[in-house]
Homo-oligomer: A and B are copies of this chain.
């Protein structure tokens, strides 16, 4: 694997993602980081995002047409609101035995999992 060099762009992208609690799409992140680095190009953003995903610094959630990104790599669950389309972190602690339980009847190997709930977020629900 290539050796990583420091880059202003990558740092800015990662920092931006770490400082927000929504789970932005590439375009949302792009527009935001662009305030800091106006010359940033979309290609660079995508290159860095896939790099960060590959080395496990961030994770991506796929949803219909586009990916959403999250700098919190600790196991946690998400809610996707059917009404406004946003992703939220759920406060529930992850279930310890989940992966183990599902490994029991399966002859392959389970290394991780993604759990996404669907429903209505608090904001949409109260309207």
Residues of A bordering B, CB below 8 Å: 62-64, 67, 77, 79, 81-82, 90-92, 95, 98-99, 101-102, 104-125
Contacts and interface: CB of A to CB of B under 8 A. Distances in A.
A125 B98 contact: no
B110 A113 contact: no
A113 B92 CA distance: 14
Contacts of A111: 82, 118-120
23 contacts: A62-B64, A77-B102, A79-B106, A79-B108, A79-B110, A90-B105, A91-B105, A91-B106, A92-B102, A92-B106, A95-B98, A108-B123, A108-B125, A109-B120, A109-B125, A110-B117, A110-B119, A111-B119, A113-B116, A113-B118, A114-B115, A114-B116, A114-B118
Contacts of A90: 102, 105-106
A95 B104 CA distance: 14
